[in-house]
Amino acid sequence: MQYARFRQDALADISRTARQQAVIKAIGKEFLQVKTVSKLPWLVPQIAKSVETDLTIAQLWAMTNMLRRIENLEVLSQTLPGNFLIENEVSYWNVNPLKSRIAVKKLFEEGKTSSTFFP
């Protein structure tokens, strides 16, 4: 949890978000391992208790079964382009709508991510 929550580096929340995405990807990878399948009847309800979602247990089960059938599943994540903004002493990531549309289109149409900080 300390790794995922740490934000005292140069990019603060952006780095923290990247670490959280890495943790989620690792959990997902472990979740889909053969050794985990027998534990799914116990895991899915536990996850439902630990995560705020409007999905029902039945929907979570359906998603779990769908994900298990996908070979070479790859999870991609993309930080939307923008810049740091400080208002009232609170740091924000100010998303650039035009550049974000381009990044999202590239992600969904080509399956490619874009660097948020380097051209």
pLDDT digits (tens, 9 = 90+) for 1-39: 888 888 787 777 778 888 888 888 888 778 777 788 788
**49: in domain:** no
Count each helix (H run) and each strand (E run) in the chain, helices first.
6, 2
User: What confidence tens digit (pLDDT) does each residue in 35-79 have?
Assistant: 887 888 888 788 778 888 898 888 988 887 887 787 777 777 888
The CA-atom distances, in angstroms, between 52 and each of 1, 46, 47, 55 are 18, 12, 9, 9
**6: in domain:** no
pTM given for the model? 0.56
Q: Containing domain of residue 108, as a range?
A: 76-119
Tokens of 14: 């952006």
**97: in domain:** yes
Locate the DSSP E strands across the chain: 82-87, 90-95
**116: in domain:** yes
**105: in domain:** yes
**65: in domain:** no
**38: in domain:** no
